[in-house]
Each structure stands twice: as C-alpha cells, then as structure tokens.
Amino acid sequence: MSTSGPGFAMTDFLASISHTVRPGAQRPLVVHDGELEEIPPGTVPNPTSLRVAGKLPTATFELFRQVIPAGESSDMQRHHHETVHFVLTGRGHSEIEDETVAWTTGSFIYTPPWTWHRHYNDSAEHPVEFLTIENSRLLNLFGVGRRQSAGLASIAEARGDHREDQ
C-alpha cells in the first residue's frame, strides 16, 4: 500500500487502520525508559536531548522523553503536527507565537500546528524533563509532515528568515 503519491488510495489507507494493536518482538506493548532510542546529538539544532519511544506500536503519534539542560532552551521551530509537552520535572516558560506562558512540574503545554515556538528552562541548576506527544506519524502517513527550525533565533528573526513560508 502506498502512503502518498499516485498509488495512494484513501479507502486502502483507512482499511489498514485497525483498532487492534498487533504487537510483536519489534513493536512491544511496553517500552522501558532504558530502552528509549536516543536521537543522536547534533541531529536536533539545540542542546536538548531527545529519546523516542519508537518501538511502541503507535501508528499515528510519536512519544519522546526530552531534557532541556539547566539555563538552556529548545530551538525556535514550527511544524505541521500538534504537540503536547507534559512537564515531568522542572520549571520554565515557552514562547508560542506572540504569547509567553510559564509552566512547572505537572503542567501540559500545547503547541498548535505551524506556530513558531521555543521552550526555556528557567532553572540555573536543574534540567527540565518533558514527555512529548505529537501526531507527526499521522501527518507523515499522509505525506504532509513538515518541520522548520530557526535555531536559537527569536520569533521575529524566525519570521523574517522564513517569510516566504508564512
């Protein structure tokens, strides 16, 4: 079955989605913290570390454990998918387009699609840890997933650098 392009058929795609999870040795029902797959440093244009629960048999969403070191931030980015960060530990703030929001352990942070955003660790001593949930797999199945990073730029700089993509 083609997931995009000329061979793609919506009826085939919808028929392939099942309410039954078919786990196996490669896609178990349980993945432990020590089994999360680290995204290699330097792959992401910021100092955070990301580990993905990629072996879970999810078809439409992705789960990450993200750590932002003390006093650091994520990169300024935007993407087509929705994201929710659950704050496992720490405190900080996020810039999401023209709004700045504060958060602490136990908070949920929602990032709407295609909005410039950046997350900051406000502690000079302790890392922030997130459980990050995004529906990127679903959009990638349809061939419409897209992500842009402006590095450690401000929102104004990101908008200026990517004006043609607004």
SS3 string, 73-109, reads: ECCCEEECCCEEEEEEECEEEEEECCEEEEEECCCEE
* Residue 83: band (very low, low, confident or very high) from pLDDT cuts 50, 70, 90: very high
The topology (CATH level 3) of 24-162 is: Jelly Rolls (2.60.120)
Question: What whole-number percentage of the chain has pLDDT above 70?
Answer: 84
User: How high is the pLDDT of residue 4?
Assistant: 54
The domain spans of the chain are: 24-162
- Token digits for 87? 């704050």
Question: What whole-number percentage of the chain has pLDDT above 90?
Answer: 55
Q: What is the pLDDT of residues 111-162, one digit of tens each?
A: 999 999 999 999 999 999 999 999 998 898 888 999 999 998 999 999 998 7
According to DSSP, residue 44 is labeled: S
Q: Residue 73's closest CA among 17, 163, 153, 133? A: 153
Q: Rounded CA gap, 88 and 107, in Å?
A: 8
Cα–Cα distances (Å) from 111 to 9, 48, 118, in that order, read: 30, 17, 10
* Residue 8: band (very low, low, confident or very high) from pLDDT cuts 50, 70, 90: low
